[in-house]
Amino acid sequence: MSTLFISDLHLEDRRPQTTGLLDAFLAGPARDADALYILGDLFEFWIGDDMITDTAGHVGKQLAALNEAGTPCYFQHGNRDFLLAGDYAGAAGLKLLPELHVADLYGTPTLLLHGDTLCTDDVEYQAFRQQVRNPVFQASFLKMSPEQRIEMARNARDASKKSTGEKSMEIMDVNEQAVRRAFEDQSVMRMIHGHTHRPAFHQHALGDGRVAERLVLSDWYDSGSYLRVGPDNYEMIPLNA
């Protein structure tokens, strides 16, 4: 018995090697799992369900096959693919989750989230996030021509890379108070997230002797790993293991 978690694959046509890693993962470990959770940024960018890239089309078929084989697949939006909607999710057999979701993992309530909402020290990013998550903005964006959407997505990605290079790692990592608040608000003692590209297991003292666990997923830019959670333990497993 095990449930698997991945995030931050950032798949795109120009990085076929990462798609190959996913193919092997879906045909291997994921086939034996109780469920697969994808916690955001499956794709490098998403500009609408009406504009499916070759990579997205291929991945959708692979995920649908996994779901049909008996492994349910759940998807949480990231900061790159928050526009992924019902048409693609339905075809791929993905069950869309809300921004914050508490899953019962073998008796342990566990908060699942992408992780960007925890990075509250990055004020610039949080302002941008609020803008692009606005339904009015999204409706306007999706009415644009394909060429306009592609240009905006590329410009946003380039600006993000430039901004990231100018910020300290501390600013882009999670804020301790935001993490503690999430634990308290959701009444859980364990959370799993991605986004920061800093895979690790953390412990957080919440007071009254309570110690909560925070499990951070890896990105797949170079090799990557997946998190396996079972009834009695959890472990991060390299993709080539």
Using one digit for the tens of pLDDT, what is the confidence trace for 27-63? 999 999 999 999 999 999 999 999 999 999 999 999 9
Nearest to residue 66, comparing CAs of 19, 114, 16, 28? 28
Mean pLDDT of the chain: 93
Question: What per-residue confidence (pLDDT) applies to 141?
Answer: 94
Cβ-based neighbour number of residue 145 at 10 Å: 8
- Residue 167 is predicted with a pLDDT of 59
Task: Domain count for the chain, please give it.
Answer: 1
Please compute the mean of the pLDDT values over residues 109-124 and round it to a whole number. Answer: 95
Q: What pLDDT was estimated at residue 169?
A: 64
* pLDDT above 70: residue 168: no
**Mean pLDDT value of segment 230-239:** 96
Q: What are φ and ψ of residue 76, in 5° steps?
A: -115, 135
CATH code, domain with 50: 3.60.21.10
**pTM for this predicted structure:** 0.94
Query: Which residue range forms the structural domain that includes residue 106?
Result: 3-238
